[in-house]
Structure 1
Amino acid sequence: MTREEAESVLTEAGQADDGAFPLLDAAIACAIHDYPFRNPEPVRTLASNAAERLAERVGSESPDDALAETMAADMRLNGDLLSYDHPGNTDVIDVAERRRGLSATLAIFYIDAARRVGVRAQGVDFPGHFLLRVETTEGPVALDPFSQGRLVLPSELTRRALRAGLTPHVADRLDVLMAPVSDRQALVRLQNVLFSRALRAEDYEGAERSALRRALLDPEDHRPWLDVAAAREKQGALAGALEALARARSVDDPAEAHRRISVDRVRLQLN
């Protein structure tokens, strides 16, 4: 798959309803968009094997135990503690081969397997760390894909929230802390991680690609186009920055004045 073909997949995914969002295919397209012409079969094989094994477990175990045992024990997926900033930790193709990654990347495999066998699992955009919400007969529970799918107790959620800077009256509200996000939002969060890392490394081409993927995945949000424009401006591609700002302006929202200021700033550099 070429980078252009990956963009076509992401464009189609962006137009899909949340209920029909192709999480695994879109995640593969994101990975290939960064580094084209790679073989995605390890991802599909891992996903297929995980779903098959999970289907065998759910009949005799609770959904959360079955999911954690399948993904962490059977599939050997775990967080990369030794090289947390390794670039492969955000790439589903690399993660499928190394069986190590960030929580947000590992969660893609958890969610895909759960979807295939009817286990209700969604991502949770927890402050500073992506978690999973799994529905059980006793209510929702939180799992941490980075820590072998370990169950995160409510008291620990509150402690983590307080450490992340949330106020006490918010940190005590489990309905807020465990609010699920859509599959689209889960994948967009991963692209946000890539964008932040690329900016810190002054890799503005990488930042542009990750911002563009966010724009394609969520076409109703103007903010990714602002990030595309900023990354292009850093590269000196001012005409491309203006094009991205025009795309941002075409998305109707209250930030129109801010976008116009950005356009004027770039135009001044062209004159």
Structure 2
Amino acid sequence: VNTHGNTDFRNLFSQLIQKPEEDLELDRAALYLAGEEYPEVDVLSHLAQLDAFAAQVSQRVTHETAPANLARAIADYLFGELGFDGNSGRYYSPENSFLNRVLETRTGIPITLSLLFLEVARRLGVRCSGVGLPGHFIVGLDDTGEYLDPFNAGAPLSMEDCRALVDRMSAGSLEWTDQFLEPYTKRDILFRILNNLKAVYMQGREYTKAVGVIQRMSIISPGLPSLYQEQAWCHAEQQEFRLAIGTLEAYLQEAGTPDDSKEVKDQIKGLWSTLSRLN
């Protein structure tokens, strides 16, 4: 398989993703993702930065501080004092998906700002979860059943606020279900970060980078038909017809006889005929 991206960081990411949920270091995994775009990234210094943020918050609270107040103190420090905020002006910049850049520029999208909050909270023993509402990522406080919105300065959200948010994001087209509030696993969070990044690259016609993202999504969720299709499409868009064919053949081989095997075989035939006209 051609690795589209930095092989060292790809290998580190693959190894980390194999770990069980409780041992999977979300901050480190996010920095390994960034390492493919920024090979010079200093993972340890960024982890130390998160340690330092947590240490600063711990000086502002006592052992008696209730979880909800601790969460408030984290939000006040990150979004108030340090000024981390939502990058509304450049929402679709790839930088927003990379934790190193979020730490350097102090701006990001909902999911990376939520990840920042989750990782500082974890260091302080505050039990939180990432919650992937359709169109907007937030944080749930496990002990109080409350929510907060890191993209909007950590503003507290009630259940009603969450419903209103989904209604607004979907322009009223989505029926509310409590499943929207299901906590994300760490793998889910990383997959969604990559999914955002893939959309940005495909929109910008940066297909080689998009393939690198799809390959990492496949490490988290092997065998997803849509990922093979998108990877093949990216290759074909760049006239890499043999790679497109190889991707679809790998899908057929790994999936056995999937429901769409006839369509996929037709696609492969179509790609071969395109290729034969070029040679």
Considering the TM-score relative to the shorter chain, is it more than 0.5? yes
User: Which residue number corresponds to residue 80 of structure 2?
Assistant: 73
Alignment of 1:147-186 (within 5 A): 147-163=152-168, 164-165=170-171, 170-171=175-176, 173=177, 175-186=178-189
C-alpha displacement of 1:10: 1.8
Identify the range of structure 1 (152-161 vs 237-246) with the bigger mean alpha-carbon deviation. Answer: 237-246
User: Which residue number corresponds to residue 200 of structure 1?
Assistant: 203
What CA deviation, in whole Å up to 9, does each residue of 1:52-84 have, x standing for no partner?
234443732424313322432344322123332
- Secondary structure of the structure 1 residue equivalent to 2:136: coil
Query: Percent identity between the aligned chains?
Result: 21
Q: CA 1:15–1:247 in 2, change beyond 3 Å: closer, same or farther?
A: farther
User: Which residue number corresponds to residue 245 of structure 1?
Assistant: 248
Cα separation, 2, equivalents of 1:193 and 1:70 = 27
Cα separation, 2, equivalents of 1:248 and 1:114 = 40
User: Which residue number corresponds to residue 27 of structure 1?
Assistant: 30
Aligned length: 265
Contact 2:94/2:200 (CA < 8 Å) preserved in 1? no
User: Which residue number corresponds to residue 192 of structure 2?
Assistant: 189
User: Which residue number corresponds to residue 54 of structure 2?
Assistant: 51
Contact 2:128/2:140 (CA < 8 Å) preserved in 1? yes
Identify the range of structure 1 (250-259 vs 198-207) with the bigger mean alpha-carbon deviation. Answer: 250-259
Contact 2:148/2:157 (CA < 8 Å) preserved in 1? yes
TM normalised by structure 2 equals 0.83
User: Is 1:84–2:106 an aligned residue pair?
Assistant: no
Q: Paired residue for 1:224, among 221, 224, 227?
A: 227
User: Is 1:143–2:148 an aligned residue pair?
Assistant: yes
Cα separation, 2, equivalents of 1:142 and 1:33 = 32
Cα separation, 1, equivalents of 2:198 and 2:58 = 36
**Consecutive unaligned residues in structure 1, runs of 5 or more:** none
Cα separation, 2, equivalents of 1:156 and 1:255 = 41
User: Which residue number corresponds to residue 115 of structure 2?
Assistant: 108
What CA deviation, in whole Å up to 9, does each residue of 1:178-213 have, x standing for no partner?
111111111111111111111111111221122122
Structure showing greater radius of gyration is 2
Question: Quick one: which amino acid aligns to residue 142 of structure 1?
Answer: Y
